[in-house]
Amino acid sequence: MERTLVMIKPDGVERNLIGKVISIFEENGLRVVALKKTRLSKEQAKAFYIVHKERPFYESLTDYMSSGPIVAMVLEGENAIKKVREIMGATDPKEAKEGTIRKLFGIDKEKNTVHGSDSPESANKEIPFFFSEHELIAVD
Ligand code: CMP
């Protein structure tokens, strides 16, 4: 079993897609271990995306991610990290496969509705960013 951190980005929360997005993950066998609606400050968004600090889109991305509420969750399942990334689809919704969350709901590369950890190392940093140990409730 593996755990991964998922965020529903401001465009998903604003368009009332929280339930639809979570349903897609659940229908694919993933289980919710922890869940919260919150809002990132600009400083928190910069800290969360620190690995991208040299990228040209860092300022815009962190402005956007702090522009409205998000939903953060920890999902658990076999190969959860890879599975979530497949279910989300490519970063650019235009390139995402049919049936993926970003193909269904993504607007552009920035407003692409969901984030998922890209590796076990990222998940190990991103899960504690939002949740303390006692908030991670084992599935069984
Ligand atoms: P996410 O999985 O949240 O991780 C980094 C984010 O940067 C990515 O999804 C995109 O939403 C965002 N982003 C914005 N512009 C770009 C870009 N040109 N290339 C890659 N990612 C981008």
Query: How do residues 92-133 score in pLDDT, each as one tens digit?
Result: 999 999 999 999 999 999 999 999 999 999 999 999 999 999
Q: Which residues pair with 3 in a beta bridge?
A: 76
- Ligand 1 — pocket residues by CB below 6 A? 52, 57, 61, 91, 109-110, 112, 115
Q: What is the mean pLDDT of the chain?
A: 97
Query: What per-residue confidence (pLDDT) applies to 137?
Result: 83
Over pLDDT 70: what percentage of the chain? 99
Question: What pLDDT score does 139 carry?
Answer: 67
CA distance 89 to 29: 17
Q: What is the pLDDT of residue 67?
A: 98
User: Which pLDDT belongs to residue 31?
Assistant: 97
C-alpha closest to that of 89 among 72, 63, 113: 113
Among protein residues, the one with the nearest Cα to ligand 1's atom 12 is 110
pTM above 0.85, yes or no: yes
Confidence check: pLDDT of 65 > 90? yes
134 is catalytic: no
Q: Are 78 and 66 in contact (CB under 8 A)?
A: no
pLDDT at 69 over 90: yes
Q: What is the mean pLDDT of the segment spanning 19-48?
A: 98
pLDDT over 70 (residue 33): yes
For residue 92, report the distance from its CA to the centre of ligand 1, in Å: 8
Burial 39-70 (b: 16+ CB within 10 A, else e): ebeeebbbebbeeeeeeeebeebbebbbbeeb
Catalytic residue among 3, 34, 115, 126: 115
CA dist 130 and 103 (Å) reads 27
Alpha-carbon torsion, ordered 99, 78, 117, 66, to 10 deg: 70
Edge-first strand listing for the sheet containing 114-116 = 31-38, 70-77, 2-8, 114-116
The structural domains of the chain, ordered by start, are: 2-135 (3.30.70.141)
Q: Whose CA is nearest to atom 11 of ligand 1?
A: 110
pLDDT at 138: 76
- Burial class from Cβ neighbours inside 10 Å (0-12, 13-18, 19+) for residue 125 reads middle
What mean pLDDT comes out for the span 72-98? 98
